[in-house]
Amino acid sequence: MMAAMLAPLGTLTFLATLWLLVVVGAAVLEESGAKIAAALKGKPALKPSLNLAQVRMRARARAKPAMRAEPRWRAAA
């Protein structure tokens, strides 16, 4: 009984994985397809496909000079 249900579940898992790979592959191709076509034609890409937000870098606060540790001996208790 259990073995009869294993084949359909395996097939369903395989088909779902295959569908996911096709969807992800289509998204990647859509993302980079224009760049590839422009490169093959020898022209620059018209616009970047990723819209990255501008990031402002802050200047780091001045670091204090490193403090050297001095070993201190304690009497054994």
- Provide mean pLDDT across the span 7-25: 94
User: Residue 35 class from Cβ within 10 Å (0-12 exposed, 13-18 middle, 19+ buried)?
Assistant: middle
- Provide mean pLDDT across the span 58-74: 75
Predicted confidence at residue 38, as pLDDT, reads 84
pLDDT tens digit sequence for 22-51? 999 999 888 888 888 888 888 886 665 555
Q: Tokens representing 53? A: 């937000």
pTM equals 0.43
State the amino acid at position 48 in one-letter form. P
From residue 42, alpha-carbon distances to 28, 36, 72, 73 in Å are 21, 10, 69, 72
